[in-house]
């Protein structure tokens, strides 16, 4: 395979053409240097052991003088040689090379501190801060820019002395270097602004600084977006001209990306983006220059990655989130074990969202990511009989891990197929990655010898008759279609985000609509259990409602979504923004801050502001409000067996990430 042919970047030879893309992690230690400690080394070693040819590190600062960083390492003193060398030697043991990504600052993307002048933010020009437009970033003086160049030279000298193999300049995502390159953010009239030559002066001086510090033939990667896909931002034509000028400046390889935080569907491609969505940009760049080009962006499908190389669209493949999901991706591809690859779902929930929330990096489908040492799966001290009730993602992950540890595992599923609510989740074509996850889990429990019994509706008596050492209950949840009693008010159910059942109880005509089949649940629509008409109203504008609406709109249905607050607030904002754009493109309407008052033979009566009432014609009304946990068996088993655990949606309806994490972490300890 082309993926496993040696490749060259400048003077540097790589054992294969698979590169780990740089990712923000929060794993470095939070001291004044933000040095990389054992946790980050373990994280990199796991990917080196898995077979990548080159690892590009998390971004590292060259100085802390300019911004208050968020825990990134800073290569700003000779003391850094020691910990950089520790990292380099750890990955070199596996024949993997190491590239340090350098970044002088976030610029307008920096989270502001309101207590500081200008929020403590800097930029090429006095432009609004991305996160708080009311704060205007401080314009850097020429002398400060020149000092940044000297900082780069010093950091490069340290990196070379530490035995690192290459340096990458982070000029992507609208960060500081990118801002200097782009007229949308660079309004300067001095030598660092104006025409393209002026706007490129700063990055070209940084390239020269790396050469002075690390050596004139030291391998340099330059990562930038060929286009921002943003009005006023970089277009492809200028992006290609930049590529030619970077080649002339002596850059060894171009790492081609797209977008920025203002166009997140490109800069951080979510679930809904197609595989290989950025490959055409790498291909254009490769035609414009003679130096190697790295392609990135949803390339976790090995056959696609191989095809990109075979067709000459790029010289190297960069994988970010796919290597979070499965550090052994290269090894499994080389061995032909494609069915064993843990697929990235593009959800951002386990990686970027956790980082935004102030947590360390992890992965929705690989809970050990970022805690490779602590969460190693080890053989059980005593083999036990384990009963898993429920064949959804939580149950299958628990069965998989328990079987890996040597336990005897039986899985009961009341239906006749595995998957639970993951089956309906994976139906839309833009959720193809969830189908890959479903296929992976089914394959693994089969290969590991888990005894699977279908048509088994577990009861207290049946479980007690089996008398397992451990019972793991993963009975999931079902859509709410009528009021449900709860402890909160004693009358009807409520939830943190939407009092769904209370809401249901107030909708006139809903019960008769359900009886006639004119009102159905999103699960029934997705699984084609009930017919969907040509005109559809979806009640509930969360993740499930909007994705169901998008799926139907793309089938040519006339779709409206009714939501009582802002739409998709249960989704990470980058994913939600892309779904919103796709809904608009598909012609679906999303009506926010509206209530459904009544379901009639003609459609749905809705209300917004007081006195604002209208009727939406609809053949079908789809309920996509919330799920109700199936927790009866858990409650019945308490005190009846030595070990009883509840995981997944039967605890509370949540995300696939929560189901997988609870299945993994529970089975790891029994």
The confidence score (pLDDT) of residue 568 equals 95
The confidence score (pLDDT) of residue 549 equals 98
The confidence score (pLDDT) of residue 496 equals 46
Contacting residues for 284 by C-beta, under 8 A, at least 6 apart: 226, 236, 240
Query: Tell me: the pLDDT tens digits for 118-170?
Result: 989 999 999 999 999 999 999 999 999 999 999 999 999 999 999 999 999 99
At 544 the three-state DSSP class reads helix
Q: How far apart are CA 414 and CA 201, in angstroms?
A: 66
The confidence score (pLDDT) of residue 160 equals 98
Structure token pair of residue 564: 């009582």
| Average confidence score pLDDT of the chain | 94
Q: List, in order of start, the domains of the chain with CATH numbers.
A: 2-356 (3.20.20.70), 385-476+630-669 (3.40.50.720), 500-628 (3.50.50.60)
The confidence score (pLDDT) of residue 29 equals 74
State mean pLDDT over 17-42.
Answer: 87
Active-site residue (options: 40, 43, 94, 175): 175
Q: Indicate the pLDDT class of residue 626, thresholds 50, 70 and 90.
A: confident
The confidence score (pLDDT) of residue 513 equals 84
The confidence score (pLDDT) of residue 286 equals 98
Exposed e or buried b for every residue in 348-362, given b needs 16+ CB within 10 A? Answer: bbbbbbbbeeeebbb
Q: Indicate the pLDDT class of residue 486, thresholds 50, 70 and 90.
A: low
Alpha carbon separation from 536 to 477, 548, 555, 560 (Å, rounded): 25, 11, 12, 6
State mean pLDDT over 527-540.
Answer: 95
Give the residue with greater pLDDT, 188 vs 30.
188
Query: Tell me: the pLDDT tens digits for 628-643?
Result: 899 999 999 988 999 9
80-92 and 142-161 helices, crossing angle to 10°: 50
Taking alpha carbons only, the member of 50, 96, 23 closest to residue 330 is 50
Q: How far apart are CA 628 and CA 438, in angstroms?
A: 22
At 317 the three-state DSSP class reads strand
The confidence score (pLDDT) of residue 214 equals 98
State mean pLDDT over 513-540.
Answer: 93
For 212, counting Cβ atoms within 10 Å of its Cβ (0-12 exposed, 13-18 middle, 19+ buried), the class is middle
Q: How far apart are CA 140 and CA 201, in angstroms?
A: 14
Percent of the chain with pLDDT over 70: 96
Q: How far apart are CA 88 and CA 285, in angstroms?
A: 30
Task: Please work out, in degrees rounded to the nearest 5, the angle formed at the alpha carbon of residue 158 by the alpha carbons of 157 and 159.
Answer: 95
Give the residue with greater pLDDT, 295 vs 64.
295
The confidence score (pLDDT) of residue 497 equals 45
Q: What sign results for the dihedral spanned by CA atoms 169, 174, 180, 182? A: positive
The confidence score (pLDDT) of residue 71 equals 67
Query: Tell me: the pLDDT tens digits for 246-271?
Result: 999 999 999 999 999 999 899 999 99
Task: Please work out, in degrees rounded to the nearest 5, the angle formed at the alpha carbon of residue 275 by the alpha carbons of 270 and 278.
Answer: 85
Structure token pair of residue 391: 């064949």
The confidence score (pLDDT) of residue 612 equals 84
pLDDT score of 398 more than 90: yes
The confidence score (pLDDT) of residue 116 equals 85
For 638, counting Cβ atoms within 10 Å of its Cβ (0-12 exposed, 13-18 middle, 19+ buried), the class is exposed
Q: Indicate the pLDDT class of residue 484, thresholds 50, 70 and 90.
A: low
Q: Indicate the pLDDT class of residue 113, thresholds 50, 70 and 90.
A: confident
For 340, counting Cβ atoms within 10 Å of its Cβ (0-12 exposed, 13-18 middle, 19+ buried), the class is middle
Is residue 43 annotated as a catalytic residue, yes or no? no
pLDDT score of 498 more than 70: no
- 61 and 105 Cβ atoms separated by less than 8 Å: yes
The confidence score (pLDDT) of residue 237 equals 98
Query: Tell me: the pLDDT tens digits for 447-474?
Result: 999 999 999 999 999 999 999 999 999 9
The confidence score (pLDDT) of residue 596 equals 93
């Amino acid at each position: 395979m082309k993926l496993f042919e040696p490749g060259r970047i400048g003077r540097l030879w790589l054992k294969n053409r698979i590169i780990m893309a740089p990712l923000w992690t929060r794993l470095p230690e939070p001291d004044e240097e933000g040095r990389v400690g054992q946790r980050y080394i373990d994280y990199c070693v796991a990917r080196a052991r898995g077979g990548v040819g080159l690892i590009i590190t998390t971004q590292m600062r060259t100085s802390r003088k300019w911004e208050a960083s968020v825990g990134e390492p800073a290569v700003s003193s000779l003391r850094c040689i020691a910990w950089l060398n520790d990292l380099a030697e750890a990955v070199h043991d596996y024949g993997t090379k190491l590239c340090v990504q350098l970044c002088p600052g976030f610029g307008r993307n920096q989270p502001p501190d309101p207590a500081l002048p200008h929020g403590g933010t800097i930029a090429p020009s006095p432009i609004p801060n991305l996160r708080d437009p009311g704060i205007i970033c401080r314009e850097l003086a020429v002398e400060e820019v020149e000092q940044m160049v000297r900082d780069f030279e010093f950091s490069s000298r340290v990196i070379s002395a530490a035995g690192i193999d290459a340096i990458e300049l982070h000029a992507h995502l609208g960060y500081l270097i990118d801002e200097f390159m782009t007229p949308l953010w660079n309004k300067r009239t001095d030598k660092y602004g104006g025409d393209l030559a002026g706007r490129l002066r700063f990055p070209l001086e940084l390239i020269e600084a790396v050469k002075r510090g690390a050596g004139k033939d030291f391998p340099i990667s330059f990562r930038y977006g060929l286009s921002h896909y943003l009005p006023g931002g970089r277009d492809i034509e200028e992006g290609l001209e930049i590529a030619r000028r970077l080649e002339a400046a002596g850059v060894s390889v171009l790492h081609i990306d797209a977008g920025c935080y203002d166009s997140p569907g490109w800069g951080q491609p979510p679930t809904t983006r197609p595989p290989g969505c950025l490959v055409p940009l790498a291909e254009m760049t490769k035609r414009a220059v003679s130096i190697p080009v790295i392609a990135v962006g949803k390339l976790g499908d090995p056959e696609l990655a191989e095809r990109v190389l075979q067709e000459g669209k790029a010289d190297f493949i960069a994988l970010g989130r796919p290597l979070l999901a499965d550090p052994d991706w290269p090894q499994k591809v080389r061995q032909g074990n494609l069915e064993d690859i843990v697929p990235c779902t593009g959800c951002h929930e386990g990686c970027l969202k956790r980082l935004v929330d102030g947590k360390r990096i992890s992965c929705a489908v690989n809970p050990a990511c970022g805690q490779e040492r602590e969460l190693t799966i080890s053989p059980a001290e005593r083999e036990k009989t384990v009963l898993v009730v429920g064949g959804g993602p939580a149950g299958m992950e628990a069965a998989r891990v328990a079987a890996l540890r040597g336990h005897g595992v039986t899985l009961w599923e009341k239906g006749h197929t595995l998957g639970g609510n993951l089956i309906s989740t994976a139906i839309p074509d833009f959720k193809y990655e969830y189908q890959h996850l479903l296929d992976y889990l089914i394959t693994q429990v089969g290969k590991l010898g888990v005894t699977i019994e279908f048509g088994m509706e577990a009861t207290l008596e049946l479980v007690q008759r089996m008398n397992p050492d451990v019972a793991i209950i993963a009975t999931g949840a079902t859509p709410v279609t009528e009021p449900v009693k709860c402890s909160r008010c004693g009358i009807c159910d409520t939830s943190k985000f939407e009092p769904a059942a209370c809401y249901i109880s107030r909708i006139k005509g809903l019960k008769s609509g359900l009886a006639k089949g004119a009102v159905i649940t999103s699960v029934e629509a997705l699984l084609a259990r009930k017919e969907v008409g040509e005109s559809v109203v979806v009640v509930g504008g969360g993740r499930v409602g909007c994705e169901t609406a998008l799926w139907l709109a793309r089938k040519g249905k006339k779709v409206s979504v009714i939501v009582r607050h802002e739409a998709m607030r249960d989704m990470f904002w980058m994913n939600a923004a892309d779904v919103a754009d796709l809904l608009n493109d598909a012609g679906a309407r999303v009506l926010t801050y509206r209530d459904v008052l009544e379901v009639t033979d003609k459609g749905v009566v809705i209300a917004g502001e007081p006195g604002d009432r209208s009727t939406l014609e609809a053949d079908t009304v789809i309920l996509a409000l919330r799920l109700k946990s199936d927790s009866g068996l858990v409650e019945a088993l308490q005190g009846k067996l030595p070990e009883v655990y509840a995981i997944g949606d039967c605890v509370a309806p949540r995300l696939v990430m929560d189901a997988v994490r609870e299945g993994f972490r529970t089975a790891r300890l029994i």
